[in-house]
Structure 1
């Protein structure tokens, strides 16, 4: 399908169908709207536990705990794993600010470790070098839907008695060696914010194969209650971080199309890769054979050093957008954010100094994002987008 100007018409996001409407009406008529309490319809099937079980199974996890958003999913995961104020949490700087603020929210200290240039994922060898007696956790961010090196990170975590948490906000459906991400570390977290590949507008979930950790996460998100305990049995200090039945209803509807969407994104990404692999001036990120399925929340590439020295990345993306290709300049390295530096200093009394030149250079000058809506289009749309990228690059050569 094309617009009147001849440019492809990529799908809008989020998308919905009749199933979401059916489930939402079931919730509306049930009297069970929130994340606690029962329904006045005896045959009503509660949507939150149904979704938690279904999504956990989809990602190969034993337990799922829904929460209000992906940021607090990481906060709860950290606290469930025993991370305390002033404990250090190693994470990459090429990520959304929420990865860091989820720790800073309760005084845990982000320690930024640089990424690998050919993957944009946290560098495991630099992780090992950054471990101190204060380190309690590693957060592996699966940026754009591509899993980090979970074999090596898990090895490092186990060797040093650290918790490994997967920030899989962008990686719904991704697999590492045939296993769903989010179920490989001690805990995994996902976001269902509006732009995500599975969305209810807002929302998140924590996965784990460890029942004790999952029960602790559930308690923290349910005002310190105990699963199967009495209503006023509060054995932890927790908060009300529950998802609503309305959000779970939408997510259940969304899941009915998820598998087909993941397959389509991967098929189109493969074609995109083939079309862009020989374009002078840009580089594609390395593909790891252990990634048996990519989540493809984003299709990312980067301008090579020679081109990025001459190109204003914002202008590059503007030119792509003018040709009808949804794109973005993406993140800048959050280790340089004044708000984060200031917050770390407030907690520790010290000015932090993180050396992450790859993430800083890539974020500032080189990485370009193509949104996942392009990957939900048809082959003609992929061919058009690849040609548009090539044309913009050639205009600088």
Structure 2
């Protein structure tokens, strides 16, 4: 494995981006050129000499790793650009045959009947909510450990998000806590397959069926993940995906809604095209508007990029899963490091992020912030992930709007009372104290790369007492 000739000062400068979570692309965390897959180190390469006795890089020692991390997204001009250039030269850039081709191939990859490409995952959820008749005055159950793109569409429809605490071992919504949050206003639940790890869909679906709730899966981070060999996003009434730049299927921006319900998908198509009749092509006017809609159409050139990325998604998913399993085995016995847990019926994960919980007590009380700073100094960029979505000011901003004040009793809009009702202590602990992530591009490396991650954590554990003086 080659190593770059980067000074320690420059290395630390490049890798001082911890704690920015999913708002950063993997390439922003690494800022290092990509390794072509055909020349990337193979999984049988052994790591170089390493000693936990060596001083931490944060205290002036040599970093465990100075080599490159694969950047993201990947692009291979010789094989990826043909269709994209054809689209650009055609002059047909709005929705057309290439978008339809991408939709058909994405549906086939998931084993689902229909797929509709839209501008992003957030609007995919918004469209699904609208066409499943979730409206103002309704309540929608959501997990607090997620990206704002899960919750913003709920507020946009005028519905009230109700937060259900998480299972800290899996980072997923805890099914055991769902029924306590159901009221006569509850109309839907949005389970999120966060980090690319599947939620407990069998239990969630059983609860939803019992209470007649709509289920919209947020699979924006879980491309090709499976439960009992069925792809996530295909269990509920609708599944929503994101193709944003950091996602495992990256287009830059984009999203999709999938379902086996033709009538629902016809309505979604109309909704994403101004409410015009299903099948109406871009640019046609005077056909008549059937339903309230908006404009969410994907472009032809985005679809061409998506088709190129889709060709290698399965192989990349396998690589990430293999490396994630190996890394988990390497670090699970380090005191204070508690890797993710998958539910027993998960037959395939789709690691968008590799999560673990950090227990500072085992590291002599070393704070998570200093742990991450030390890990980054060793050449292993990381993030603390999400903040607590269930108590942020954006909620009160919505509650104070005229629309919400017309749709809900005053008592329901009291922000302090809302925060108390939606307190999620397990989520608080994850967000504020324990969660640490590695981005998915790091899992596209070699087994030797995973060893270097583990070695860096072991090194910090060994010298935790010496790092206590750091801020």
TM-score bracket for the superposition, by shorter chain length: over 0.9
In 1, Cα distance between the equivalents of 2:270 and 2:362?
A: 51
- Per-residue Cα deviation, 1:141-186 (whole angstroms, up to 9, x for no partner): 1111001000011111111111111111110110111011111111
Alpha-carbon shift at residue 303 of structure 1 (Å): 1.1
Asked if 1:10 is matched to 2:69, the reply is yes
Question: 1:69-118: per-residue Cα shift (whole Å, max 9, x none)?
Answer: 11111101111111011211100001111111111112111101100121
The counterpart of 1:19, out of the listed 71, 79, 83, is 79
Counterparts of 1:65-144 in structure 2 under 5 Å?
Answer: 65-144=116-195
CA contact (8 A) 1:328 1:368 kept: yes
Q: Which of 447, 450, 468 matches 1:379?
A: 447
SS in 2 for 1:271: helix
Q: TM-score, normalised by structure 1?
A: 0.94
Do structure 1's residue 52 and structure 2's residue 52 form an aligned pair?
no
Structure 1, gaps ≥5 residues long: 37-45
Aligned length in residues = 388
Structure 2 partner of 1:256: 311
User: Which residue is 1:43 aligned to?
Assistant: none
Structure 1 residues 194-236: Cα deviation after superposition (integer angstroms, max 9, x where no partner): 1111111101001111111111111111110121458423100
Q: Deviations over 1:28-58 (max 9, x none)?
A: 122210125xxxxxxxxx2101111111111
Q: Quick check: 1:167–1:189 contact (8 Å CA) kept in 2? A: yes
**Residue aligning to 2:46:** none
RCO higher in 1 or 2 (8 Å CA, sep ≥ 6)?
A: 2
Instruction: Tell me how far apart the structure 2 counterparts of residues 96 and 309 of structure 1 sit (CA, whole Å).
Output: 32
Partner Cα separation in structure 1 for residue 279 and residue 309 of structure 2: 29
Deviation at residue 305 of structure 1 after TM alignment: 6.2
Q: Distance in 1 between matches of 2:253 and 2:279?
A: 27
Tell me which moved more, 89-98 or 337-346: 337-346
Gaps of 5+ in 2: 7-64, 466-471
Offset at 1:345? 4.8
Q: Is 1:357–2:425 an aligned residue pair?
A: yes
Q: SS of the counterpart of 1:148?
A: coil
The structure with more radius of gyration: 2
Q: SS in structure 2 opposite 1:370?
A: strand
Matches within 5 A, 1:298-377: 298-304=353-359, 306-307=361-362, 310-346=365-401, 347=404, 348=408, 349=410, 350-351=413-414, 352-353=418-419, 354-377=422-445
The alignment's C-alpha RMSD in Å is: 1.7
Deviation at 1:396, TM superposition (A): 2.4
In 1, Cα distance between the equivalents of 2:462 and 2:209?
48
